């Protein structure tokens, strides 16, 4: 049994010239950082978090702390999917805590989570955003190793998300299901045996009750791609996507980011650039 106690800590801070730098960083296996890249056009510092191991195994405990100071802008992504491997016993757990300051921006957009047969995985994410701060958070889920006939065969998957804006809880979500349970939901949606899911949260200051991007985003609901947009009690929106396969989901998310970037330029960073 693997017993990684992985730790990732990042603190992004603004420079006098308006760019963003990593003012502090620390990490421990299985986390590793690539060289940060500053995109002057989007005004965002991009950091890739790499897992040099095979994936997530039973007994792994992963902790992430990301702070974006007032006036800074940070994009955190991964170059490949996170695989949760079969577990004869035990479970794996990931705890994520993000803090976004006033006038700061955080985009957290890792590649999909892929739970394998017999895996048990808990992910708990807490986000604290100061008034005037913004965020785009994305979770993607694939049903397993479809090419190996292992779709929907994980034992348990629990994904929790809490978002506070100015100290007020504005979103609390929890997905806690076995693979078979989620397969039934995918079948009800008519998305097929290889259905993939994405859950996104957009927090933006001074957003209107009916933003101009909502209609074109809702128009993506077609050709096998299910898209739903809902307003939070204040400060933001949730976006749900269901697609028949990983390629369709990737295309849907890319198009959603393109639409949103017309009104929120920090989303203009091309995730395929690196």
Tens-level pLDDT at each residue, the chain (274 residues): 446 789 999 999 999 999 999 999 999 988 999 899 999 999 999 999 988 677 899 999 999 999 999 999 999 999 999 999 999 989 999 999 999 999 999 999 999 999 999 999 999 999 999 999 999 999 999 999 988 888 999 999 999 999 999 999 999 999 999 998 888 877 776 667 889 999 999 999 876 778 999 999 999 998 789 999 999 989 999 999 999 999 999 999 999 999 999 999 999 988 765 4
Look at residue 203 and tell me if it is in a domain. yes
What residues contact 195, with CB distance under 8 A and at least 6 apart? 143, 186, 189, 242, 243, 244, 245
Whether residue 97 lies inside any domain: the answer is yes
* Domain count within the chain: 1
Position 274 scores a pLDDT of 47
Domain range for 239 is 15-268
Cis peptide before 30 (omega within 30 of 0): yes
**10, part of any domain:** no
User: Can you tell me the distance from the alpha carbon of 234 to that of 203, in angstroms, rounded to the nearest whole number?
Assistant: 9
With contact defined as beta carbons under 8 Å apart, do 234 and 206 qualify? no
Instruction: Indicate the pairing of strand 150-151 with strand 105-109.
Output: unpaired
Residue 116 lies in a domain: yes
Both tokens of residue 266?
Answer: 């920090």
Determine contact, residues 67/43, Cβ cutoff 8 Å.
no
Q: What is the pLDDT of residue 270?
A: 81
Q: Is residue 132 part of a domain?
A: yes
Nearest to 124 by CA among 64, 206, 183: 64
1 occurs within a structural domain: no
Residue 226 lies in a domain: yes
- Asked, for residue 179, whether it belongs to a domain, the answer is yes
Q: Cα separation of 156 and 120, whole Å?
A: 5
Q: Where are the beta strands (DSSP E) in 69-133?
A: 73-77, 82-84, 92-100, 105-109, 113-115, 120-129
Cβ-contact 126, 165 below 8 angstroms: no
């Amino acid at each position: 049994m693997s017993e990684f106690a992985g730790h990732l800590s990042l603190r992004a801070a603004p420079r006098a010239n308006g760019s963003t730098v990593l003012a502090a960083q620390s990490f421990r296996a299985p986390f590793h950082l690539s060289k940060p890249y500053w995109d002057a056009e989007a005004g965002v510092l991009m950091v890739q978090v790499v897992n040099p191991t095979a994936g997530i195994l039973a007994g792994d405990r992963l902790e992430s702390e990301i702070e974006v100071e007032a006036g800074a802008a940070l994009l955190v992504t991964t170059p490949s999917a996170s695989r949760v491997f079969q577990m004869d016993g035990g479970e794996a757990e990931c705890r994520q805590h993000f803090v976004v300051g006033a006038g700061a921006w955080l985009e957290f957009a890792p590649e999909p989570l892929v739970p394998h047969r017999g895996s048990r995985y808990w992910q708990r994410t807490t986000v604290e955003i100061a008034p005037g701060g913004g965020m785009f958070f994305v979770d993607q889920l694939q049903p397993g190793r479809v090419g190996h006939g292992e779709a929907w065969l994980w034992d348990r998957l629990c994904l929790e998300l809490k978002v506070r804006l100015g100290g007020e809880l504005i979103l609390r979500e929890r997905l806690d299901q076995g693979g078979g349970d989620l397969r039934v939901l995918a079948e009800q949606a008519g998305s097929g045996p290889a259905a993939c899911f994405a859950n996104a949260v957009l927090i933006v200051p001074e957003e209107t009750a009916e933003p101009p991007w909502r209609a074109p985003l809702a128009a993506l609901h077609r050709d096998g791609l299910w898209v739903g947009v809902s307003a939070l009690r204040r400060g933001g929106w949730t976006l749900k996507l269901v697609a028949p396969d990983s390629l369709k989901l990737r295309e849907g998310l890319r198009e959603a980011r393109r639409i949103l970037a017309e009104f929120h330029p920090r989303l203009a960073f091309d995730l395929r650039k690196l």
